[in-house]
Structure 1
Amino acid sequence: MTIGGGQQMATIVGPDGRTHHVYTISGVRVEFPAKAYPSQIAMMDKVIRGLQRGQHCLLESPTGSGKTLALLCASLAWQRAEAENVRKFNETVEAAARASLKSVKQEMQSADETDLKMSSSVAKPVYVPKVESSPVGDMSAYYSDDNSDDDFKMPTKKRTKISKSPPEKPLVSIRPSSVGSSVPIKMEDMKTERVMLSSDGGSVESPVEQPFIQRKQKIPKIFFGTRTHKQITQVVKEFRRTVYCNTPMGVLASREHTCIHPEVSRSANKNEGCKTLNDRRLARQDTQQKGGCSYRWQGKEKLKTQSQIRNYGLDKGWDIEDLVSLGRRIRVCPYYASRDMSEQAQIVFSPYNYLIDPRVRQSMKIPINDNIIILDEAHNIEDSARESAGGSWSQEDFHLALNDCEKIGNRHPTMEKEIERLAKFSSYMMQWIGKHATNMKSVGFDKEVLIMTGTEFVANLSVDGYGPENLVELKAIIDYIFNEQLESDWNDKEGSQEPQLSAVTQSLLEGFLMIMDLMLNCNQIHRDDYRAVVVRTVERKQKKGPGSSFFGKANISQWTYALNLWCLNSAVVMQEIKQSTRSIIVTSGTLSPLASYQSELDIDFKLTLEANHVIPAKRVWIGTISQGPRNTLLNGTFKVTGTFEYQDELGRLVLSVCQTIPHGVLVFLPSYSLLEKLVARWRDTGTWQHLSNYKTIVCESRDSRDFEDTLKNFYSAIEDSENALSCSLDGSGDMSDECPSKKTGESPSGAVMLAVCRGKVSEGLDFTDNNARAVICVGIPFPNFKDTQVELKRQYNDKLSASTPLLNGSEWYEIQAFRALNQALGRCIRHKADWGAILLVDDRFAKTPRYVNQLSKWVRSSIRHFKDFEAMTNSLKEFADNFVAEDAAAALIASQQQSLASNQEESLLSTPLVVASSPYFAKPSTFIASPDVVCLSDDENNSILSVNDSLTSENSPLKAVARPVEMNQTPVRPMLTSKIPPATVAVQSKEMKTTPVKHSVFVNKKPFATLLGNPNKLSLSQRKLAAENGSHYFQAMNPTTSAKPEFDS
């Protein structure tokens, strides 16, 4: 069937017994675990075309539209097709190379025979063809059992096999074509270098023209980045749903999420603790000194390859929690195991800062050349790119580095001069920061700054003898010292204790010099994309000993000094990525306006998409409100939000919504400052107490360590409200006398969470169904106007907007606010069957059309403006009541069905309601059924038919789910379906060569359905039905159109 745009669709039964939809998109076969939404098809089409052409994609698809699944299926389907392409190409290259070498050898043998006398007196030439190759793109390469440890192996030189025959003529260049694409793959032509060697090892000039040999190709690796480690778990869950879940995969994560060492895992800084513990010398002497990490060194050979992790049962998609659990069980370090396995993987999942930040990319040895980078939930990619191109170093940091260098310099004879230079540089930077902490501008009562352009900063360093050339030398020294220490670790005798620079010092100096390299490379074109900012702040510490504090500790304040190098141009780090990778695919639900990404990242996104939402408009209520219950104007500017009048009116509004909406309500505020003010005010006025009568109140904390506990409290309250609603139904729709809520007179309510835009709650968390039936967004979350970094970015854009595509400072500032707002709005609508309300609390939406136009496409298309609070409340109540009633009716039917099945359970053990014991089951099996429901699933409790699947052909309204139950097994309760009169179901074998087996199904002693088929092959809706003696397939037939089979009426 043609879908549109040339895509074709078909359905197949996958190896898991479920229906998979097959689409042919731009010549690539894509298998999808469900019928794809139009937005998913559009996204897959863009992804595949981008990968075929080596182009970059910028794709926006609303929350809940299944964009992650579309990204995975499209990219992995293309990779699978490309792997076959590469395999054929490499076979052709190998065959051509063999033929050429054979021809050359024959010619040389002939020449040798002719010049036999000359060859006895003159050194024979030996030709060394130097041909670069990369692994053949066949799957077996990714299951290698190679136990090499690339992290710590010393560099070795590969031996070159010497050919005694010179090539004769160039080979024909053969290029593989990407599937469905007329654009050839870009490849560097690699000519064979031939060296003529004399018998004494010298070289002589080769008289033969050097040939052209095409190098092999490799399969592009996919790096799939998302914003947080938690989101990786969600992505891997989607990965498991696909037919591509057997693809060799890896997950890169920090030590914070992977360390299992009993001491280090409990430390405040796991990174430094791990680096110190894994000192190679300690590791070698582990048994004598009890040093090193046994999980890393003693268990490293247990879990390094794809085949090893498959042997442990993780063969169809695993996340970092699975790896940590396995690591604990077999005593292997998950952090290093994940790095080892990612080298062999075809798809690697990681936080996207691992792919963007050049320091992390270098540390993790992530190869991006000619590979694919997918950045999901990348609405913050501009900020991440700027942050990764900058850094902050305190005066104390350089002081500690100086001490470290001085401590080991005199005791390290082989590198004394190099370490002395690092010590001088550390001392210089420490003094430089202190020297420039004068004539500073106050930006708060406890903060002062001094701002320089990048040019001014570089000039300052150059005057003191640390110009660009000197910094390059220092970076080379750092690299040299690190490599020398690494070699020393492996080659020194066991008793040697040569001192080494600490991991902290190496990280500090290497990080600073790498940022300077970004600033100064490419002829210093990025120099003025930076601002050097010296910051002086007050740091408060507790001093031990006698003091004014009751507990014997006194708070002391002291000035601290730091140097910040702030990058104002995201393109600084994206430049290398866009030039190195095959394709960059950037996606999110909130990317609009797309043009700003192109200008900020300086990437030419040839393929863009703004997809529509999959949610029916009737299932979402979207409105703005300009005034509260007492007609107070609701204007979310900083000046107004500080007034008690505004805070009290907002409290009354939130209370009203919580009285109207069941279960979960999310309230997003522009800042933590306003959140804290509201909490204090509402506690004083009693609003907090009134609100807590209807909802459990939880607040997002500034401290990220409290985040998990906050979520648990919220979800627990929602679960309690769902259980209370469930127990309130007694089968007639009335609340049961046993329900706790009825005894106390209180209705089950749920929870309200007070959170902050740009906080963790607003970024990528899935508040599906009852977890968020309403989202209230208060004000517009503009960044802090007085923040120094925001101010500098605005000025930078204003300066360059006239001569470049960059937005001006005001436009950039507004976009930052609405991206954060749109991200928060998407928390409540998570799938097609979800429902929820969105309320924007600010009068500026009704007065400023420009603000409405910056909302996501799916929001602005359904928005309504309310000036009157009562009108808004009535509309919201009507919407909520309709869906609450729908949910209650569904819950009531489910409760009745459950009760019916429970009452029938005992009698069904001896006398099944429906018996089907025909030859296509090894043992008698039971179909549990009612006039409305047929249950059928496989032995592992996997539904063969879902509640939305039709058991009969398209003109029958019967809905069914199913489960085979043995005669002596407790039957499983039927799943919910709508009340539909009994229908006749005919099941006909695909192969009617023999007389079909006829078996009637009865419900309440009345004919219900007839199953027709032979003992060998039956099929029902193309779904797999498992029996102990094999698998059987059933095909549903329409009784009115089938001639041969007989049917019971």
Structure 2
Amino acid sequence: MAREEFPAFPFQPYAIQLQLMRAVYGALEKGGVAIVESPTGTGKTLSLICSVLQWLEDRGSDSSRGGDDKDSDEPEWMKEFSTKRDKPVDTKAKVVKKKCGDFFGTPDDSSPQRRQRDSHRKSKSLQAAVEDEDDEEFLLEDYSSDGGGITTMKRKPGGAYSDSSDSDEDEEGDEVEAVPLKIFFCSRTHSQLSQFIRELKRTSFSTSLKTVALGSRKTLCVNQDVLKLGSASRINDRCLDLQKKKKSSSQKVSTRNSPSFVSHHNFFQVDDQRMIKSKTSACPFLKKQRQRKQFKEAVVASQPMDIEDLVHLGQKLGSCPYYGSRNSLPMAQVVVLPYQSLLHAATRESLGINLKDSVVIFDEAHNLVDTVTNTYSSQLSTLQLRQVSSQLSEYLSRFRTRLAPANRRYIQTLLVLVQALLERLMSVGSREKEPGVQDVQTPAAITTINDFVFSLGIDNINLFKLCRYIKESNIVNKVSGYGDKYLSQQNELTPSSTAGFHPLAAFLVSLTTAQSDGRVLIVESSDGECMFKFLMLDAAKHFSEVVQQARTVILAGGTLQPVAELRDRLLFQVPDESLHFFSCGHIVPGESILPLAIAKGPSGKTFDFTYQSRSSPQMIEELGRLLINISVIVPEGIVVFFPSFEYESQVHKCWDKSGILSSILKKKNIFREPRNASAVEAVLQEYKTSITTGGGALLLSVVGGKMSEGINFSDGMGRCVVMVGLPYPSSRDPELLEKIKYIDELNNTKNRKESSSPPSQQRTGFTLQQCGHRGRDYYENLCIKAVNQSIGRAIRHAKDYAAILLLDGRYVTTGGPAAKLPEWIKEHLVVVRGGFGEAHRLLHRFFKHNHR
């Protein structure tokens, strides 16, 4: 059923917006994969919202399907949300009493010496029993695996973490509700997801449909003690630690001289001035069911909330926004989440995401292929391996006599594996370095998975069973939890112990999930530290899981060209009849855009910003002279994009010495993009203030930096965008070369599942000059995609206007890089092969016409 009108659109749509909505609606009716290309600034997000959610509403917002998978890594308090314990768990006091037996009988009336000796003996035995019980939470449960590899866990009644701090609250469990058909909207950054929420609030769907936003722990955590750890990995590890184990709260009490035992609300006390300990939830935001329920009700009942709204609500209610939003997921019809949360199969499972018959939208999909491969890649350092080795050794020493035989065997196997990995890295790190080599990362070896495993001498270890053991036994948190306790007793301050174990587990999983499409790199940094990097080469294999489960997958972006490469690397398994493509022009009129390909500078020198020539003083000075000239013509703001931070620094230093900076400063203030992403907002605000106060400004930015994607230089913020050269990635990057080699050797789609070439036949010492047509196209497309994203920062709405300057002789060659620019730029592109005077006249006329 086709639809012509979309009443939820908040204003009269432009013709291309209406065309886009009709195309998306039609693709949803047919199912399959839709590729939607709409230039930045054309209202793409709002058009997607109004078409997709109108389709959902037309189908009936009460459409439902089977329940989501509830087998996840949620903490026990969430699982207990809908159930009650049938019988109370023995308190710690009762367990200790059982172990200590007659120590709680009637005191002996023997001589004072006998009583003193017995008292000392009883105190020592009681202390030993208490210490054993203190470590009980770290002891692995019995694990058994039969010859067929079927694994079972012998769990205690009530689960591994049956303690609850909510026993004083008598709440009914949540009712089981029908799970509605879901729309998953994914984007790369939280700022882009927040933009989606803002656009959604402009429509009537904000009140008629239930929306939930999912984010990372780092963005949603409200526990300041955890947030201060800084890095996302440490925050994740600490959050898991606080869930999986209980923190001991201690206080001192005064007791009688004789050993005694008091049971009261899970407290116990031993001897004079001993510690009273109680087990409570370590994170205060995971305690109360009532607050969790209030959080869930607020999320589903209110207008759509972005990440900042969820954090504010969590702080107000004293409840965890990260798990609160996850708990709201089953009732949601619209789910907003980052790429990785949906692309990674294990993360989908842990979140309880079921894609069956759903609609999945990937916004800003131009980098989706690399995002998929990066999601399934991993790395493991020497430091992390040493940490794991130390933890496993200490754990085995402490619990050897209490572990089940299978647990001992698996831990010993892990130790053998870790030692083999360490020895390999140490052998690389001990090599003598060539004098004068200062590369940040030097590739020491690149191997296939089979070659890597055989080189370690661990081909007799069943990695599949080992990975299953790591997942099912909870060894990561058991061993790491004990490691944290051991280090705290030694007064050693270190990062969370899981910081080493999780990368090891991820690396081992990577070795078992890839065949011919996986590579292991051993990389050595300049400081001698070595690490393994697992590189996933085939994105299509993992993305096919999403395509097969979902009803419709929509890939949207400002420019997704070349579509042929996108299909070959991501969608080769999708039949032609299930693939739909839509592309539209820009909403701005032709007189509001002036793209110029400029070959020569003001003094007549040809612009050559190849890696070999761009650092010459003559080329840097010619670029400076051009910016001095256009600073006089262009009003308000100019944004200049350089290929790298290193080159930008080199140019800035040369301009400072030559006086070019002083000449530019006479017309415009100069700002520079900081390397630290957290400082970008402050620089942008200063840049904007300089423009709005009437002085004008020039911003030096970097392709691939924060300002080249996700930042809108609309109106006066970007009256002119200057692209310096062509930002090709380094041709010496070992990871990039391996990707190019793999792409270049891909067979046709019919034989795609077979290895492109057996390991023994693969070329060594591969260079960019050796690659064929496929590899060369991929390398060039990486460059032009970066150009398209950078120049697309300007012209954000129909009344905006800007000039785009492409500086390099290669832009003016027939069939060169300019042939791969977006259609809305190519149709207006003016190629200036002569002197700079022609470009100067065109710029002067353009801004005289448009500037009001």
What TM bracket, shorter-length normalisation?
Answer: 0.7 to 0.9
Assess if the C-alpha contact under 8 Å between 1:625 and 1:872 holds in 2.
Answer: yes
Query: What do residues 646-668 of structure 1 show as CA deviations (whole Å, max 9, x unaligned)?
Result: 10010111122222112221111
Assess if the C-alpha contact under 8 Å between 2:249 and 2:278 holds in 1.
Answer: no
Q: Identify the range of structure 1 (359-368 vs 564-573) with the bigger mean alpha-carbon deviation.
A: 359-368
Q: Which residue of structure 2 aligns with residue 69 of structure 1?
A: 46
Residues 1:231 and 2:227 aligned together: no
Assess if the C-alpha contact under 8 Å between 1:305 and 1:341 holds in 2.
Answer: no
SS in 2 for 1:382: helix
Query: What do residues 644-700 of structure 1 show as CA deviations (whole Å, max 9, x unaligned)?
Result: 001001011112222211222111111122111111111111111222222221111
Residues 1:817 and 2:790 aligned together: no
Q: Which residue of structure 1 aligns with residue 526 of structure 2?
A: 538
Residues 1:57 and 2:40 aligned together: no
Query: What letter corresponds to residue 851 of structure 1 in structure 2?
Result: P
SS in 1 for 2:520: strand
Residues 1:275 and 2:240 aligned together: yes
Query: With CA pairs under 8 Å and 6+ residues apart, which has the higher RCO, 1 or 2?
Result: 2
- Hey, what's the Cα distance between the residues in 2 that align with 1:342 and 1:754? 42
Q: Which residue of structure 1 aligns with residue 418 of structure 2?
A: 426
Evaluate the alpha carbon distance shift between residue 84 and residue 575 of structure 1 in structure 2; reply closer, same or farther with a 3 A threshold. closer
The correspondence for 1:464, drawn from 458, 461, 477, is 458
The alpha carbon displacement at 1:148 in A equals 9.2
Evaluate the alpha carbon distance shift between residue 642 and residue 561 of structure 1 in structure 2; reply closer, same or farther with a 3 A threshold. same
The alpha carbon displacement at 1:134 in A equals 4.1
Q: Which aligned pairs between 1:296-335 and structure 2 lie closer than 5 A?
A: 296-299=285-288, 301-304=290-293, 308-309=297-298, 315-335=302-322
- Hey, what's the Cα distance between the residues in 1 that align with 2:178 and 2:724? 54
Q: Which aligned pairs between 1:895-914 and structure 2 lie closer than 5 A?
A: none
Query: What letter corresponds to residue 507 of structure 1 in structure 2?
Result: H
SS in 2 for 1:607: strand
Query: What letter corresponds to residue 514 of structure 1 in structure 2?
Result: V
Assess if the C-alpha contact under 8 Å between 1:448 and 1:537 holds in 2.
Answer: yes
- Hey, what's the Cα distance between the residues in 2 that align with 1:453 and 1:766? 42
The alpha carbon displacement at 1:149 in A equals 4.9
Q: Which residue of structure 2 aligns with residue 8 of structure 1?
A: 4
Evaluate the alpha carbon distance shift between residue 149 and residue 35 of structure 1 in structure 2; reply closer, same or farther with a 3 A threshold. farther
Q: Which residue of structure 1 aligns with residue 774 of structure 2?
A: 808
Assess if the C-alpha contact under 8 Å between 1:801 and 1:807 holds in 2.
Answer: no
- Hey, what's the Cα distance between the residues in 1 that align with 2:430 and 2:552? 47
Evaluate the alpha carbon distance shift between residue 234 and residue 684 of structure 1 in structure 2; reply closer, same or farther with a 3 A threshold. same
Q: Which aligned pairs between 1:105-254 and structure 2 lie closer than 5 A?
A: 134=67, 149-150=77-78, 219-246=180-207, 247-254=209-216
Q: Which residue of structure 1 aligns with residue 849 of structure 2?
A: 882
SS in 2 for 1:325: helix
Evaluate the alpha carbon distance shift between residue 617 and residue 674 of structure 1 in structure 2; reply closer, same or farther with a 3 A threshold. same
Q: Which residue of structure 2 aligns with residue 784 of structure 1?
A: 730
Structure 2: stretches of 5+ with no match in the other structure: 69-74, 87-176, 251-265, 268-276, 482-488, 490-495, 753-771
- Hey, what's the Cα distance between the residues in 1 that align with 2:476 and 2:639? 55
SS in 2 for 1:235: helix
Assess if the C-alpha contact under 8 Å between 2:246 and 2:279 holds in 1.
Answer: no
The alpha carbon displacement at 1:389 in A equals 1.8
Residues 1:445 and 2:438 aligned together: yes
Query: What letter corresponds to residue 247 of structure 2 in structure 1?
Result: L
Q: Which aligned pairs between 1:972-983 and structure 2 lie closer than 5 A?
A: none
- Hey, what's the Cα distance between the residues in 2 that align with 1:157 and 1:429? 45
Structure 1: stretches of 5+ with no match in the other structure: 10-20, 23-30, 91-132, 136-146, 159-215, 490-496, 520-526, 540-558, 722-748, 887-1049
Residues 1:476 and 2:468 aligned together: yes
The correspondence for 1:566, drawn from 508, 522, 535, is 535
Assess if the C-alpha contact under 8 Å between 2:448 and 2:520 holds in 1.
Answer: yes
The TM-score, its normalising length taken from structure 1, stands at 0.61
Q: Which aligned pairs between 1:613-762 and structure 2 lie closer than 5 A?
A: 613-721=586-694, 749-762=695-708
The alpha carbon displacement at 1:84 in A equals 5.3
The alpha carbon displacement at 1:157 in A equals 13
- Hey, what's the Cα distance between the residues in 2 that align with 1:391 and 1:292? 32
What is the count of residue pairs matched by the alignment? Answer: 683
SS in 2 for 1:379: helix
RMSD of aligned C-alpha atoms?
A: 3.4
Evaluate the alpha carbon distance shift between residue 696 and residue 393 of structure 1 in structure 2; reply closer, same or farther with a 3 A threshold. same
The correspondence for 1:386, drawn from 373, 376, 391, is 373
- Hey, what's the Cα distance between the residues in 2 that align with 1:752 and 1:291? 56
Evaluate the alpha carbon distance shift between residue 458 and residue 878 of structure 1 in structure 2; reply closer, same or farther with a 3 A threshold. same
Evaluate the alpha carbon distance shift between residue 472 and residue 153 of structure 1 in structure 2; reply closer, same or farther with a 3 A threshold. farther
Query: What letter corresponds to residue 707 of structure 1 in structure 2?
Result: V
Residues 1:577 and 2:542 aligned together: no
Q: Which residue of structure 2 aligns with residue 843 of structure 1?
A: 809
Query: What do residues 98-137 of structure 1 show as CA deviations (whole Å, max 9, x unaligned)?
Result: xxxxxxxxxxxxxxxxxxxxxxxxxxxxxxxxxxx549xx
Evaluate the alpha carbon distance shift between residue 566 and residue 666 of structure 1 in structure 2; reply closer, same or farther with a 3 A threshold. same
Assess if the C-alpha contact under 8 Å between 1:236 and 1:317 holds in 2.
Answer: yes
- Hey, what's the Cα distance between the residues in 2 that align with 1:155 and 1:633? 75
SS in 1 for 2:697: strand
Evaluate the alpha carbon distance shift between residue 483 and residue 405 of structure 1 in structure 2; reply closer, same or farther with a 3 A threshold. closer
Query: What letter corresponds to residue 531 of structure 1 in structure 2?
Result: R
Q: Which residue of structure 1 aligns with residue 154 of structure 2?
A: none
The alpha carbon displacement at 1:512 in A equals 1.4
- Hey, what's the Cα distance between the residues in 1 that align with 2:724 and 2:479? 59
The correspondence for 1:78, drawn from 55, 64, 67, is 55
The alpha carbon displacement at 1:42 in A equals 2.9
- Hey, what's the Cα distance between the residues in 1 that align with 2:663 and 2:443? 45
Q: Identify the range of structure 1 (405-414 vs 452-461) with the bigger mean alpha-carbon deviation.
A: 452-461
Query: What do residues 428-463 of structure 1 show as CA deviations (whole Å, max 9, x unaligned)?
Result: 222233346688998953443233432543551685
Query: What do residues 117-168 of structure 1 show as CA deviations (whole Å, max 9, x unaligned)?
Result: xxxxxxxxxxxxxxxx549xxxxxxxxxxx995467799999xxxxxxxxxx
- Hey, what's the Cα distance between the residues in 2 that align with 1:337 and 1:449? 44
Evaluate the alpha carbon distance shift between residue 152 and residue 488 of structure 1 in structure 2; reply closer, same or farther with a 3 A threshold. farther
The correspondence for 1:517, drawn from 503, 512, 517, is 512
Evaluate the alpha carbon distance shift between residue 599 and residue 306 of structure 1 in structure 2; reply closer, same or farther with a 3 A threshold. farther
- Between structures 1 and 2, the one with greater helix share: 2
SS in 1 for 2:629: helix
The alpha carbon displacement at 1:243 in A equals 1.1
The correspondence for 1:43, drawn from 9, 20, 23, is 20
SS in 1 for 2:366: coil
SS in 2 for 1:449: strand
Q: Which residue of structure 1 aligns with residue 799 of structure 2?
A: 833
Query: What do residues 2-26 of structure 1 show as CA deviations (whole Å, max 9, x unaligned)?
Result: xxx96534xxxxxxxxxxx53xxxx
The TM-score, its normalising length taken from structure 2, stands at 0.74
SS in 2 for 1:641: coil
Q: Quick check: which has more Rg, 1 or 2? A: 1
- Hey, what's the Cα distance between the residues in 2 that align with 1:390 and 1:315? 38
Assess if the C-alpha contact under 8 Å between 2:620 and 2:651 holds in 1.
Answer: yes
Assess if the C-alpha contact under 8 Å between 1:437 and 1:450 holds in 2.
Answer: no
The alpha carbon displacement at 1:329 in A equals 2.3
Q: Which residue of structure 2 aligns with residue 406 of structure 1?
A: 393
Query: What letter corresponds to residue 302 of structure 1 in structure 2?
Result: Q
SS in 2 for 1:871: helix
Evaluate the alpha carbon distance shift between residue 487 and residue 625 of structure 1 in structure 2; reply closer, same or farther with a 3 A threshold. closer
